[in-house]
Amino acid sequence: MGGLSAMKARGRSKVTNGNRLLPEVDGRTVWARRMRDLIQAHTADLGGDSEMSEAERSLVRRAATLATELERLEAQFAAAGAADPETLDLYGRQAGTLKRILEGLGLRRRPRDVTPDLREHIDARPAA
């Protein structure tokens, strides 16, 4: 591998290159794995990484962070059998923020075009 594209890739951060979820964070934690799963799911819903703008990628990361934290709070509520008013208020505000971010991204799934290229279809057919 060489050339200009390799030089550009080396100059980018590990987060930008997709090698790290966050700087200085062990990506093997339950929290990091869940966040990565949500990022992948939201990205798929938006038609895949190649169909998204950088702003959409940023919003997806924020949504995944909030959703992961909301799930963590839900687990705390379930384990305790209740939620204290202050934490429940925080939960409600985070849920509202998540809803606004998701509305900005669009709440409906964008199907990805998987129609085969005509040339690929013809080339894939067995010879008669």
Do the domain assignments include residue 39?
yes
Q: Which amino acid is at 40?
A: Q
Alpha helices in the chain (DSSP H): 3-11, 14-17, 30-45, 54-80, 85-105, 118-124
- Is residue 15 within 8 Å of residue 21, measured between CB atoms? yes
Number of domains the chain contains: 1
Under DSSP, is residue 115 helix (H, G, I), strand (E, B) or coil? coil
What token pair was written down for 81? Answer: 């059998």
Do the domain assignments include residue 36?
yes
Percent of the chain with pLDDT over 90: 58
What token pair was written down for 95? Answer: 């849920």
Do the domain assignments include residue 79?
yes
Residue numbers of the domain that contains 103: 10-109
How would residue 8 be classed by pLDDT, with cut points 50, 70 and 90? low
Do the domain assignments include residue 128?
no
Q: If 0-12 CB within 10 Å is exposed, 13-18 middle and 19+ buried, where does residue 60 land?
A: buried
Query: What does pTM read for this prediction?
Result: 0.70
pLDDT at position 124 is 79
- Is residue 112 within 8 Å of residue 51, measured between CB atoms? yes
